[in-house]
Structure 1
Amino acid sequence: MQLVVARIGRAHGIKGEVTVEVRTDEPELRLAPGAVLATEPASAGPLTIETGRVHSGRLLLRFDGVRDRTAAEALRNTLLIAEVDPEEIPEDPEEFYDHQLIDLDVVTVDGTEVGRIAEISHLPYQDLLVVRRPDGGEVLVPFVGEIVPEIDLEAQRAVIDPPAGLLDGAAGEAEGGEAESGDGSA
């Protein structure tokens, strides 16, 4: 199974380093020197990580064969993709890979059906579960312990305890009305 683990950002300096937007909870494993990653677009790779370091809070990577700023800048916005065994699970029992969460049924703490997880949206400060409703609408659920108190992989369900209004806005959008929405960050 392939997982997007990072997106390449700007070139850094003149020796081929790039900034990366990390999209994995295990950067020390997935983005370590020697890792060979597929790319999207495929024409950019595969890329082998030569070095990695943190500078001013950002991860910087250098790839084999990328020796100058021009070559590094040509990789901008390329997605880095790792091959992961589908049976592999994170060491921390409170962490999950996206493929473990996709297609889980979503119910409220009182058992009311909400929908099914269609995708995970990884924002800089928080992940969101994109839940497809039975009526065709969708709702964005912040993936935090207070709102998603239980993930039961054996039962294939996620239990949510939504704050007032979280599910009401999704119903209004599905009916064609304008629902109030924030900026998506909580």
Structure 2
Amino acid sequence: MLVTVGRIGRAHGIKGEVGMIVRTDEPDRRFADGAVLMTENQPARALTVESSRWHSGRLLVKFVEAPDRTAAENLRNLAVQAEIGEEERPEDPEEYYDRELIGLAVRTTDGEQAGEVIDVVHLPSQDLLEIRRPGGNAVLVPLVEELVPEISLDKGYVLVADRPGLLDPEGAEEVPNEPGAS
């Protein structure tokens, strides 16, 4: 299965390195020397990691297929994907691949069926579970332990601690306007 692990940024220097916009929790594993990545764009092409290093908080990658700055610039904005086996798991037992979460049933801590996970949305500040509620509406739930205290891949569910307005935005408690607020 191909999974997007990054997007190629601008060239760095004259020897073909590029800045990588990382989309994986395992960059040292996915961008290891010799790793073969596929571009997401059609026609797809293979890129082999010659080397990678961290520089000023950003990952720089040199691909065999980009020997100089000009070739590196031609890769800009391409998304790259890694082949990940169906049985492969993240190294940290508290982390999950998106594909493992999508399709899981959602239950509340009160035992009610609350829907199904249909996507994982990655934002700079946190990840969100997109949940299709019974009836077809979708809601976003922050993927934090306080709101998602349990994920059971073996049993096929995600437990959500329902809060007013979390799973049913229409049922949110009204917050009175502050004095002087319009």
Q: Same fold (TM over 0.5)?
A: yes
Which deviates more from structure 2 when the two are superposed, residues 149-158 or residues 36-45?
36-45
Going by fraction, where is helix more abundant, 1 or 2? 1
Residue 43 of structure 1 and its aligned partner are, at CA, apart by 3.1
Structure 1 unaligned runs (5+)? 173-186
Which deviates more from structure 2 when the two are superposed, residues 20-29 or residues 55-64?
20-29
1:99 is paired with a residue whose SS is helix
Moved over 3 A (4+): none
Query: How many residue pairs were aligned?
Result: 171
What does residue 152 of structure 2 align with? 152
Change over 3 Å in CA distance of 1:118–1:98 after alignment to 2: same
Contact 1:44–1:78 under 8 Å retained in 2: no
What does residue 51 of structure 2 align with? 51
TM-score normalised according to structure 2 size: 0.86
Which deviates more from structure 2 when the two are superposed, residues 127-136 or residues 94-103?
127-136
* Distance (whole Å) between structure 2 residues aligned to residue 45 and residue 63 of structure 1: 12
**Could you tell me which amino acid in structure 1 is paired with residue 138 of structure 2?**
E
Alpha-carbon RMSD across the aligned residues, in angstroms, is 1.7
What does residue 60 of structure 1 align with? 60
Structure 2 unaligned runs (5+)? 172-182
What does residue 100 of structure 1 align with? 100
* Distance (whole Å) between structure 2 residues aligned to residue 15 and residue 141 of structure 1: 44
2:151 is paired with a residue whose SS is strand
Residue 151 of structure 1 and its aligned partner are, at CA, apart by 0.3
What does residue 83 of structure 2 align with? 83
Contact 1:44–1:75 under 8 Å retained in 2: no
1:166 is paired with a residue whose SS is coil
What does residue 10 of structure 1 align with? 10
What does residue 137 of structure 2 align with? 137
Residue 109 of structure 1 and its aligned partner are, at CA, apart by 0.8
1:43 is paired with a residue whose SS is coil
* Distance (whole Å) between structure 1 residues aligned to residue 69 and residue 163 of structure 2: 47
**Could you tell me which amino acid in structure 2 is paired with residue 28 of structure 1?**
D
* Distance (whole Å) between structure 2 residues aligned to residue 115 and residue 99 of structure 1: 17
1:71 is paired with a residue whose SS is helix
TM-score normalised according to structure 1 size: 0.84
What does residue 110 of structure 1 align with? 110
